């Protein structure tokens, strides 16, 4: 049912806004593309890092009210204790919801992948998305994308798979969540080794 709502929302969205490639497709092709994207997003484990979680007796589970909306901006940035991360100690620390990660690169925060225009991928095109994953640069031309985002692995996917992933992400409910900028190593005690 949820999937159906997302597809209807996507079709409506494309009816209202000029959705480049999707707009020129037959409805049945759009539905198939979005379904394939959803399958690949599950397989790629994007939810592990990009979805806020709710705590349950079974541990943290995806918050189904705002999937793939990135590291929640309301969460205080609690840095790991100084000295915790070192070459001969622990290498990486992560928050309970797996959306913020401290390591030798400083602290990175998983991006909002929903189609919100200001805080998510709402203004991205399919071409920007593919270029970002292929080059490992923010929006395909900015700063390097930080770990643990596995862009080297996803960047090897076929164009058709990356297009399907992008179509699915654009079909999600837009969620306003301005994710924190990364914290460089020098400013991140415990994460700056
Ligand atoms: C192990 C954790 C992890 C997984 C799994 C993961 N991501 Fe990420 N992703 C991140 C983090 C952290 C960032 C932010 C990196 C930064 O700020 O440089 C990010 C950033 C991104 C970006 C923004 C790139 C840019 O240009 O700024 C995109 C797009 C993205 N991820 C898509 C995906 C998709 C699609 C999947 C699943 C197929 C996925 N991610 C799986 C952690 C992850």
pTM to 2 decimals? 0.88
Q: Of 22 and 112, which is predicted with more confidence? A: 112
User: In this model, does residue 11 exceed pLDDT 70?
Assistant: no
110: CA distance to ligand 1 center in Å?
6
Answer yes or no: are the C-beta atoms of 166 and 126 closer than 8 Å: yes
pLDDT value at residue 81:
84
The arithmetic mean of pLDDT across residues 66-86, rounded, is: 86
Q: Is 193 part of any domain? A: no
Is 192 a member of any domain? no
Q: What angle is formed at CA 76 by the lines to CA 74 and CA 82, rounded to 5 degrees? A: 160
pLDDT digit string, tens, across residues 27-60: 899 999 999 999 999 999 999 999 999 999 999 9
pLDDT given for residue 193 in this prediction: 45
Helix (H, G, I), strand (E, B) or coil at 177: coil
Report the nearest-CA residue for atom 12 of ligand 1: 110
User: 150 alpha carbon to ligand 1 midpoint, in Å?
Assistant: 7
* Minimum-distance ligand 1 atom for the alpha carbon of 132: 26
Number of domains in the chain: 1
- Which residues have a Cβ under 8 Å from the Cβ of 136 and sit 6 or more positions away? 144, 145, 151, 152, 155
Q: Do 182 and 146 touch, CB atoms closer than 8 A?
A: yes
The pLDDT assigned to 192 comes to 44
Question: Closest Cα to residue 71, out of 113, 29, 103?
Answer: 113
Does 64 map to a domain? Answer: yes
Residue 106 placed within a domain: yes
Choose which residue among 37, 41, 48, 49 to substitute to test ligand 1 binding: the one with the highest number of ligand atoms within 8 A of its C-beta. 49
Helix (H) or strand (E) holding 107: strand 106-109
pLDDT of residue 191: 45
Q: Which of 149, 150, 156 to mutate to test the pocket of ligand 1 (most atoms within 8 A of CB)?
A: 149
Q: Which domain holds residue 49?
A: 2-187
Residues with CB under 6 A from ligand 1: 41, 44-46, 48-50, 101, 108, 110-111, 113, 132, 138-139, 145-146, 148-150, 154, 165, 182
- In b/e form, how buried is each residue of 26-63, taking b as 16+ CB within 10 angstroms? eeeebbebbbbbbebbeeeebbebbbbbeeeeeebebb
Indicate whether 124 belongs to any domain.
Answer: yes
The rounded percent of the chain whose pLDDT value lies above 90 is: 72
In ligand 1, the atom with minimum distance to the C-alpha of 138 is 26
């Amino acid at each position: 049912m949820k999937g159906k709502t997302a597809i209807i929302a996507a079709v409506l969205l494309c009816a209202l806004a000029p959705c480049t490639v999707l707009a020129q497709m037959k409805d049945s092709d759009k539905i198939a593309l979005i379904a394939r994207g959803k399958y690949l997003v599950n397989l790629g484990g994007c939810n592990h890092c990009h979805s806020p979680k709710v705590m349950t007796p079974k541990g943290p589970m995806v918050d189904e009210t705002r999937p793939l909306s990135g590291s929640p901006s309301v969460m205080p940035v609690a840095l790991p204790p100084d000295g915790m991360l070192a070459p001969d100690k622990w290498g990486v620390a992560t928050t309970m919801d797996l959306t913020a990660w401290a390591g030798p690169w400083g602290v990175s925060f998983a991006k909002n992948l929903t189609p919100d225009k200001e805080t998510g991928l709402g203004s991205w095109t399919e071409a920007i998305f593919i270029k970002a994953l292929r080059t490992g640069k923010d929006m395909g031309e900015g700063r390097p994308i930080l770990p643990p985002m596995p862009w080297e692995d996803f960047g090897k996917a076929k164009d058709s798979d990356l297009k399907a992933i992008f179509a699915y992400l654009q079909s999600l409910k837009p969620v306003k969540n301005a994710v924190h900028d990364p914290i460089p190593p020098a400013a991140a005690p415990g994460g700056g080794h």
